[in-house]
């Protein structure tokens, strides 16, 4: 993952509705969610949800698949893991990080 992808992904997540949508998709797992289910669960208007899903998809954070008349959205785990790996690549200069602390114990 390059810096441009990271910035685009973080910018997409830097909105409360998009962050909530992405987290709901992560929780849903491979089953994914339809826009109708997300609208109900997250209390987001369908038009706003559509916009936010488009932004997340453009950033590579979600995928979309047609299943009959429904669209199924899923978190893009490979992209998510790449983002996390980029953010933590040089954590504690390669030493193990403290799990129970906010700061690394290097």
CB 88 within 8 A of CB 99: no
CATH number of 3-94: 1.10.10.10
What mean pLDDT comes out for the span 65-69? Answer: 94
pLDDT the model gives residue 75: 98
Task: Give the integer Cα–Cα distance in Å for 99 and 82.
Answer: 20
Per-residue pLDDT of 30-59, as tens digits, reads: 999 999 999 999 999 999 999 999 999 999
Q: What is the pLDDT of residue 100?
A: 58
Nearest to 34 by CA among 21, 23, 20: 21
Task: Give CA torsion, residues 54, 26, 29, 102, to 10 deg.
Answer: 160
User: Does the pLDDT at position 80 exceed 60?
Assistant: yes
- Is the model's pLDDT at 76 over the cut of 90? yes
Name the residue ranges covered by the structural domains of the chain. Answer: 3-94
Asked if the model's pLDDT at residue 106 lies above 50, the reply is no
pTM for this structure? 0.85
DSSP characters over 38-71: HHHHHT--HHHHHHHHHHHHHTTSEEEEEETTEE
- C-alpha–C-alpha distance, residues 7 and 16, integer Å: 17
Q: Which residue, chain included where needed, has tokens 């299943």?
A: 67
């Amino acid at each position: 993952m390059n810096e441009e992808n990271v910035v685009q992904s973080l910018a997409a997540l830097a909105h409360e509705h998009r962050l909530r949508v992405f987290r709901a998709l992560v929780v849903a797992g491979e089953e994914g969610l339809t826009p109708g289910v997300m609208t109900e669960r997250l209390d987001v208007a369908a038009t706003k949800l559509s916009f936010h899903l488009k932004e997340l998809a453009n950033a590579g954070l979600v995928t979309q698949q047609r299943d009959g008349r429904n669209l199924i959205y899923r978190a893009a785990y490979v992209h998510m893991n790449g983002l996390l790996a980029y953010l933590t690549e040089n954590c504690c200069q390669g030493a193990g990080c403290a799990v129970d602390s906010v700061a690394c114990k290097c």
